[in-house]
Structure 1
Amino acid sequence: MSERSRPYQPSLLRLLHAANALVVLCAWLSAILVYNTYDRRFVQLPLPEIPGTIDIHGTFAVGLLLTLPPFALYSFHLGSKRLIQSDSWRQLKHLDRPSGRYALHRIANTLILLATTLAFVSGRMMKEDWLPQGNLQELWYTIHLWGWVIVGIAIALHIALGIWVGGIALMRSMVSWRMRENDTPQTWWQQVQRIWKP
């Protein structure tokens, strides 16, 4: 595969994606620990109880406050072609074609952003003493719980569809250190400025 035909992702996208993905994954895993410690209504996992799981999860929530807004801003502006489009639902009729598969992948990308935002906002609305006191019926906790369930499903879809759409080459392009001459960190500010240009 030649250099030009190899999939390439903008370096700023890779940086923001990696930072956000790492924090979301840590928040999701710590959410499982919190659920397994205080809830267990639907399933109980054979995991050790770790003291301070709520604080650990809250720390990653603070991290999400730092990584999610810039990633969402990039995604909805410079990276908007990777999100759901006006014709995405219509193209789902053609999953045997690349256009249909790309449409499904864009929907999954959008779902991750929306579900992560829902989980983050609902988490900020919760009180830390709800779970230790057994208040499992609180509306914001229910929304928060299902938000993280949807995030987990969306991540699995995102990875599976990414492989289906672009194969291993696409996945490698998201973690590659390779940069083109016109896409170095020195050009990031110029890219960001395009967000506010009409």
Structure 2
Amino acid sequence: MPPVSPYQPSLLRLLHGAMVVLVPLCWLSGFVVYSNQDGRWGRLAWVIPGEWIDIHGTFGVLLWPLALLFALYALSLGRSRLRQAANAAALIALVLAVGSGKLMNEAWLRSGQLDHLVYGAHLTAWLLIAAVVIWHLTAVLRRGGRALASSMLQLQVRANDQPRHWPSQVKTWFQRRA
């Protein structure tokens, strides 16, 4: 009998997939912003022209509601997955990055004001995201190998896990907690 492939809930796959697209875009655009505007600890060999602060901010605006939904999922339906340290650390880094980003003022970087505490927290979150994504991927591969990693990419959905079932899944979770 062949081994059973792991199954990830469709809502988790959707939210996680959106994060997989947006987080690297935020991270890379943040690197360009840092390199172009700050660069105290290194910069690209050349300045990449463009309104990178605005581009990075746009990615952040897109990430904000998805990160909120992902965090709500993680703290409710996905709570058991937070027992894995790499998953919990990834969520903490995401919250720090999005939270500090929401508190940032884009005029600070444009005017060279690099000493704000919130900006320092945002840079720290940027470094944490890089480290935690590597840790998270390594932990997934160590825990379940390619089968677990590829289960996040599956497009098939079980009969009881279609989008129309998501509200009842959330409702059931809350009823169990009451």
TM-score by structure 1 length? 0.83
Shift of 1:50: 2.8
Runs of 4+ in 1 over 3 A off after TM superposition: none
Gapped runs of 5+ residues in structure 2?
none
CA distance in structure 1 between the aligned counterparts of 2:20 and 2:47, rounded to whole angstroms: 25
Bigger CA drift: 55-64 or 126-135? 126-135
Structure 1 residues 113-141: Cα deviation after superposition (integer angstroms, max 9, x where no partner) = 11111111111222111112111111111
Gapped runs of 5+ residues in structure 1?
85-105
CA distance in structure 1 between the aligned counterparts of 2:152 and 2:123, rounded to whole angstroms: 29
Aligned to 1:143: 121
CA distance in structure 2 between the aligned counterparts of 1:71 and 1:137, rounded to whole angstroms: 31
Structure 1 residues 58-86: Cα deviation after superposition (integer angstroms, max 9, x where no partner) = 101111122011111111111111103xx
1:123 aligns with 2:101: yes
1:64 aligns with 2:74: no
Give the fraction of aligned pairs with identical amino acids, expressed as a percent.
41
Aligned to 1:181: 159
Aligned to 1:81: 80
Aligned to 1:153: 131
CA distance in structure 1 between the aligned counterparts of 2:96 and 2:87, rounded to whole angstroms: 14
Aligned to 1:23: 22
Asked if 1 retains the 8 angstrom alpha-carbon contact of 2:35 and 2:47, the reply is no
Partner SS state of residue 108, structure 2: coil
Q: Partner letter of residue 187 of structure 1? A: H
Q: Partner letter of residue 152 of structure 1? A: A
CA distance in structure 2 between the aligned counterparts of 1:51 and 1:19, rounded to whole angstroms: 25
Shift of 1:48: 4.5
1:44 aligns with 2:43: yes
CA distance in structure 2 between the aligned counterparts of 1:50 and 1:117, rounded to whole angstroms: 29
Work out which structure has the larger RCO, using CA pairs closer than 8 Å and 6 or more positions apart in sequence: 2
TM-score by structure 2 length? 0.92
CA distance in structure 2 between the aligned counterparts of 1:47 and 1:7, rounded to whole angstroms: 45
Pick aligned residue for 1:193 from 143, 167, 171: 171
Shift of 1:47: 5.2
Aligned to 1:89: none
Aligned to 1:108: 86
Asked if 2 retains the 8 angstrom alpha-carbon contact of 1:20 and 1:67, the reply is yes
Q: Partner letter of residue 26 of structure 1? A: L
Asked if 2 retains the 8 angstrom alpha-carbon contact of 1:116 and 1:148, the reply is no
